Amino acid sequence: MKKIFTLFIIASVAFSFTLIKHKPVLYIIGDSTVKNGDGSGKNGQVGWGSVIDPYFDTSKISIRNHAIGGRSSRTFITDGRWDTILAVLQKGDYVIMQFGHNDASPLDDTARARGTIRGIGEDSIEIYNPIKKRKEIVHSYGWYMRKYVGETKAKGAVAIVCSPVPRNNWKEGKVTRIADSYGGWAKQVADQNGAAFIDLNEMIATEYEKMDTAKVNSFFPADHSHTNHEGAELNAKQVVKGIEKLKGVKLKNFLRSK
């Protein structure tokens, strides 16, 4: 009788745990334009992922910004950062990703060795990585992005791909777009692999062009890539607008405006 009672208690506890509803998590991954430094903005540079929390009802969803400066779609994986997320990623979670700013870097330089092959093909090349001091097979930007999307979906989570935010580069009164490179490649990966897509490159560039160039310049105190707090807020608002427009993606239900 004692054994039966013990088994009953164990079964009851196990059943109770199954009734505890998983609180969804929004994982944000990317480079320094998503999270700069420690995210506090103490260096005057802020990524949009560091200021997006207030737009969400965090009593219903957790926001975890895992973006880190200097990483490409390749090195976020090879550093082991993606595996850390995969280990805890659950059904009902969301992963929003933005890579591309650092993917055009050299494949095997002694400084960072973070580049990827241009495009979304299946081509690869073996290099000697002087940072890790070992051989490494380097793939295309699209290959790494497909890996994020595929593994996110395999966990029952929702993948949202973003095109890289624009740099403060202008030509003939227009912000330079990257629809013919990383912006377009990000969209192709999303479209071909069943992920949601937010065209941050186009959306933010359009917003910049509505402003005086001096105002836009004030968002970039150090260089043409990294925004200050005000610039990060503008970018975060465009991310939110993009989320609101996504069809069939319930992440919008966690926005405070909803």
CATH topology of domain 23-106+142-253: Rossmann fold (3.40.50)
pTM of the model: 0.91
Query: Domain residues of the chain, as ranges?
Result: 23-106+142-253
pLDDT in tens, the chain (258 residues): 554 444 444 444 444 444 478 999 999 999 999 999 999 999 999 999 999 999 999 999 999 999 999 999 999 999 999 999 999 999 999 999 999 999 999 999 999 999 999 999 999 999 999 999 999 999 999 999 999 999 999 999 999 999 999 999 999 999 999 999 999 999 999 999 999 999 999 999 999 999 999 999 999 999 999 999 999 999 999 999 999 999 999 999 999 965
Measured between alpha carbons, how far is 1 from 107 in angstroms, rounded to an integer? 67
